[in-house]
């Protein structure tokens, strides 16, 4: 960090409801590291100067990188605002968590929470907000029974649009959404551009556009639909209208769209973009047969010799399907598309095993590590990106190339000499193993 000194300011104490919201609603989104940091910062006195190292010691953070990651998530969820001065250091302005009702009314947060803990659990939390008193008659006065509306008549019908606003304190930068262009889309005679200068309305529009991945034209449709349906522009209806546009867009594209919120950087406590990408790769590799992967990579139908090699990787070495697929991709990349013999695969597989590769995920991470290592020896330009070659590989290729060719020739001759019944049985066995 640039500076190790910091101060804290807070003007509230964590009440029962705030503590409940922080635990049940925020914790799944920020992770235990940010949760603990927030509670620790709450214990410091206002305007006193402290050292960040005391925080690192209290939370057992090995370095300030973990502190910064935890703080970033608190910033993103508007629980802490961070200020900095070159001489004085950091100033952390602690914010009170939203109430449960306000949190669940915020479509960005409720969508994020549903993704984390599931719709059933969110519904259980919502039920507690809708408690009904039975056996009594509600005799509470309504607003218009107590107050009289005395607005001046104005030419601009949108001057009174913001009567009922929902607090929305999550800040979205919205770099991809051109708000100025959005304002210019509307006819001045229908919706004056000045209406969109309201900061809370602007934040709401940018927030909703981000949540549902809507462009300028789609957000214009959202606003127009809200005005037509309500003869007004209540903030609470913008999210509902956006969800309809979002659903229709997904249906037109004939696909089911699911938005997921993850941290941009790897995070040990909540899911990150890297975690999500890795999960998708693992899923693909574990649910496709080596035969399909090979044919996809080579662009041609796999030969019987190649299928026999793949079968032996599974039966003889006991490799899982996902590991075989990662191994296949890696080796073909190293061999520039040439399919080597079983012996070559065995050599690489044994090398991986010594490095601790046991499953699809560890195989992917190992190949990523190999690619990040500095290359040794003379590079050979082939017109495509090359993987990193272990030190033994060049020598091993020279020693086994002739042997591989002879071995493949012998295996092909073996298949050619089989009877039709024997070929059918062998193909059935291979299919059973490789899927």
Tens-place pLDDT, residues 162-171? 333 334 455 5
Number of domains in the chain: 3
* Helices 235-252, 107-117: crossing angle, 10 deg rounding: 60
- Establish if 128 belongs to a structural domain: no
Which residue has better confidence, 103 or 246? Answer: 103
The two structure tokens encoding residue 201: 């309305």
H-only helix segments in 231-303: 235-252, 273-286, 290-298
- Residues 158-187, mean pLDDT to the nearest whole number: 60
Asked whether residue 127 carries a pLDDT value surpassing 50, the answer given is yes
- Establish if 124 belongs to a structural domain: no
Q: Are residues 292 and 249 in the same domain?
A: no
Which residue has better confidence, 398 or 149? Answer: 398
Q: What's the pLDDT score for residue 336?
A: 81
Q: Are residues 327 and 425 in the same domain?
A: yes
Which residue has better confidence, 271 or 79? Answer: 79
- Establish if 268 belongs to a structural domain: no
Give residues with Cβ within 8 angstroms of 402, minimum separation 6: none
Tens-place pLDDT, residues 217-265? 899 999 988 988 888 888 888 988 888 888 887 777 665 555 566 666 6
Q: Are residues 231 and 285 in the same domain?
A: no
Q: Are residues 244 and 286 in the same domain?
A: no
Residue 49 near residue 7, CB atoms below 8 Å: yes
Q: Which domain, by its residues, includes 46?
A: 5-101
pLDDT band at 377 (very low <50, low <70, confident <90, very high): very low
The two structure tokens encoding residue 334: 């190293």
- Establish if 145 belongs to a structural domain: no
With a pLDDT cut of 90, the percent of the chain lying above it is 17
Asked whether residue 385 carries a pLDDT value surpassing 80, the answer given is no
Q: Are residues 165 and 237 in the same domain?
A: yes
Q: What's the pLDDT score for residue 425?
A: 64
Q: Are residues 242 and 286 in the same domain?
A: no
Judged by DSSP in three states, 28 sits in helix
Report the range of poorest mean pLDDT among 178-182, 362-366, 423-427: 423-427
The two structure tokens encoding residue 315: 């039966």
Q: Are residues 96 and 33 in the same domain?
A: yes
The two structure tokens encoding residue 240: 């509902």
Average pLDDT, the chain: 77
**Where is the domain boundary, 80, 101, 122?**
101
Residue with the two structure tokens 């024997």:
422
Residue 276 near residue 260, CB atoms below 8 Å: yes
Report the range of poorest mean pLDDT among 187-201, 342-356, 391-405, 417-431: 391-405
Q: Are residues 238 and 333 in the same domain?
A: no
- Establish if 36 belongs to a structural domain: yes
pLDDT band at 321 (very low <50, low <70, confident <90, very high): confident
- Establish if 380 belongs to a structural domain: no
Of 37-41, 104-108, 170-174, 256-260, give the range with the top mean pLDDT.
Answer: 37-41
Q: Are residues 249 and 292 in the same domain?
A: no
């Amino acid at each position: 960090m640039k500076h190790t000194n910091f101060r804290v300011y807070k003007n509230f104490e964590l009440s029962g409801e705030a503590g409940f919201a922080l635990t049940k609603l925020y914790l799944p989104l920020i992770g235990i590291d940010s949760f603990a940091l927030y509670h620790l910062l709450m214990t410091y006195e206002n305007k006193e100067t402290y050292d960040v190292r005391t925080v690192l010691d209290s939370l057992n953070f090995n370095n300030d990188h973990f502190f910064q990651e935890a703080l970033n998530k608190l910033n993103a969820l508007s629980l802490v605002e961070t200020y900095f001065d070159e001489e004085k250091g950091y100033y952390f302005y602690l914010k009170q968590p939203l109430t449960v009702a306000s949190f669940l009314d915020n479509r960005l947060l409720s969508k994020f929470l549903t993704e984390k803990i599931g719709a059933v659990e969110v519904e259980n939390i919502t039920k507690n907000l809708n408690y009904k008193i039975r056996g009594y008659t509600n005799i509470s006065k309504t607003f218009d029974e107590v107050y009289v509306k005395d607005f001046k008549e104005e030419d601009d019908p949108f001057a009174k649009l913001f009567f009922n606003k929902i607090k929305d304190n999550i800040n979205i930068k919205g770099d991809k959404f051109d708000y100025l262009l959005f304002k210019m889309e509307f006819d001045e005679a229908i919706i004056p551009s000045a209406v969109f200068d309201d900061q809370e309305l602007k934040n709401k529009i940018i927030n909703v556009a981000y949540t549902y991945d809507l462009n300028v034209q789609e957000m214009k449709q959202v606003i127009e639909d809200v005005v037509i349906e309500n003869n007004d522009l209540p903030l609470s209806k913008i999210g509902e209208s956006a969800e309809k546009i979002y659903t229709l867009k997904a249906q037109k594209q004939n696909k089911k769209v699911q938005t997921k919120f993850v941290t941009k950087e790897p995070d040990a406590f909540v899911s990150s973009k890297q975690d999500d990408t890795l999960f998708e790769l693992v899923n693909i590799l574990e649910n496709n047969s080596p035969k399909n992967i090979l044919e996809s990579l080579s662009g041609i139908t796999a030969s019987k010799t190649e299928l026999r090699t793949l079968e032996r990787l599974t039966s003889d070495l006991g490799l899982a399907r996902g590991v075989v697929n990662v191994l296949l991709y890696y080796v073909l990349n190293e061999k520039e598309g040439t399919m080597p013999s079983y012996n070559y695969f065995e050599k690489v597989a044994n090398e991986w095993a010594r490095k601790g590769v046991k499953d699809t995920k560890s195989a992917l991470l190992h190949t990523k590590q190999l690619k990040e290592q500095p290359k040794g020896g003379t590079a050979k330009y082939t017109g495509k990106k090359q993987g990193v070659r272990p030190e033994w590989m060049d020598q091993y290729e020279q020693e086994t190339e002739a042997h591989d060719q002879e071995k493949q020739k012998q295996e092909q001759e073996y298949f050619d000499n089989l009877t039709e019944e024997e070929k059918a049985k062998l193909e059935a066995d291979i299919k059973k193993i490789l899927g």
